[in-house]
Amino acid sequence: MKKIVVFIAAMVLMLPGLRAEEEGEAFDPGSMIIGHVTDAHSWHMFDYVKDGEEHAVAIPLPIILINDGHLDVFSSARFHHGHADYKGYRLVGGGATKEEIVCVDDEGNLTGAKPVDLSITKTAAAIMIATVLLLIIIFVARAGYKKRPNQAPKGVQSLVEMLVVFVRDSIVRPMIGEKHYQRYLPYLLTLFFFIFFCNILGLIPFFPAGANITGNIAVTATLAVITFFITNISGNKHYWVDIFNTPGVPAWLKVFPLMPLVELVGVFTKPIVLMIRLFANMTAGHIVILGFMVIIFIMSNLFGAAVGGGVSVVSIFFSVFISLLECLVAYIQAFVFTMLSALYIGMAVSEPHHAEN
């Protein structure tokens, strides 16, 4: 309940940034929503209005650029939220368009060039924070085992042990088998805990949480690529034989070769499915929640504050409902990603059935 109150308070703090008509600009709900679920070069907290002017409160992040072999490192605060150039660079985009850094000349004209951007963006910073917090939780649980050996777990230790045992006995062991599961258990445990923890942090709407980590397709693609390499590097002879000489398939399909082509394409579509499923599900939840909140301000701008206040009751109710549903989705998506990864690995290392005869 405390998280729900914090969520509503955070949305209220965004109100000045959504007051479209008073600033003489048309309110663009799509730009606002997309801007909150995509990556950025600073960590936006909230907006406020002072002396009739809108001001943004944000945590600056390091900008690291390589341009013509020259390294430039400075704070994103130098851009003043995209209103100023610095060292021949300009921050453009944001909202519905991708935020990026471009080069400008001394007169402030775009040169058409773009530096190599190695900046610590909001998503990268959130990954670092999530990793540190997750390590703290794991080490706290580890310390509990050292202090209380051979005793029933308690506190954080109980939660960690429950999840570890669940992943081991309900996902990894059944999917990979008794012979090989221990070899891949550390990776799959790391995968489950990282995704689950990032999903939960993404539902908390204030710093150091609130970043849409698993809603960034670069993050989900990286996780899927790691699974792809582990699966195919671990693949035994029978795994590759079944791809290029699929058993039980008519000979003419192998000669053509239709089935080997289909099987080979399947090797690459499996990680793509992993990538898109996690990205789409987590991003969709955030967009739906923001969509319900945006309705309040759209109705206020169109019909006045009274109508907006009446609509807010329904919008907040559905936002809370979706937020609770997202807590379940956060777990389900971590489970599904880990389960499918274990399934793919299990298919790659499994022995043929006739070997038992």
Q: Give per-residue pLDDT as tens, 323-338.
A: 888 889 999 999 999 9
Each residue of 260-298: pLDDT tens digit?
A: 787 888 889 999 999 999 999 998 888 888 888 888 888
Q: What Å distances lie between residue 156 and 90, 145, 160, 325, 340, CA to CA?
A: 46, 11, 6, 24, 27
Contact 345, 228 (CB under 8 A): no
Q: Is the dihedral of CA 322, 324, 330, 332 positive or negative?
A: negative
195-228 in b/e form (b: 16+ CB < 10 A) is bbbbbbbbbebeebbbbbbbbbeebbbebbeebb
The whole-number average pLDDT for the span 77-95 is 86
- Does the pLDDT of residue 6 top 70, yes or no? no
pLDDT at 118: 93
Task: Tell me the backbone φ, ψ of residue 5, rounded to 5 degrees.
Answer: -60, -40
Q: Predicted confidence band at 259 (pLDDT cuts at 50, 70, 90)?
A: confident
Question: Tokens in use for 293?
Answer: 């909140």
68-77, 78-87, 218-227, range with the lowest pLDDT: 78-87
Most confident of 41-45, 129-133, 154-158, 235-239: 129-133
How many whole angstroms separate alpha carbon 248 and alpha carbon 266?
18
The whole-number average pLDDT for the span 206-210 is 80
Can you give the residue ranges of every domain in the chain? 62-119, 123-349
Contact 91, 12 (CB under 8 A): no
In this structure, the number of other CB atoms found within 10 A of the CB of residue 267 comes to 17
Each residue of 42-62: pLDDT tens digit?
A: 888 777 777 767 777 888 999
Each residue of 194-205: pLDDT tens digit?
A: 999 999 998 887
Contact 35, 96 (CB under 8 A): yes
Q: Predicted confidence band at 9 (pLDDT cuts at 50, 70, 90)?
A: very low
Burial class (CB in 10 A: 0-12, 13-18, 19+), 319: buried
**Alpha-helix runs per DSSP H in the chain:** 2-13, 15-18, 29-37, 122-147, 156-166, 173-176, 181-202, 217-234, 237-244, 251-255, 258-303, 305-349
DSSP for residue 79:
G
Contacting residues for 340 by C-beta, under 8 A, at least 6 apart:
270, 273, 274
How many whole angstroms separate alpha carbon 15 and alpha carbon 11?
7
pLDDT at 255: 66
Q: Predicted confidence band at 2 (pLDDT cuts at 50, 70, 90)?
A: very low
pLDDT at 26: 62
Q: What is the mean pLDDT of the chain?
A: 83
Closest CA to 180 of 357, 345, 353: 345
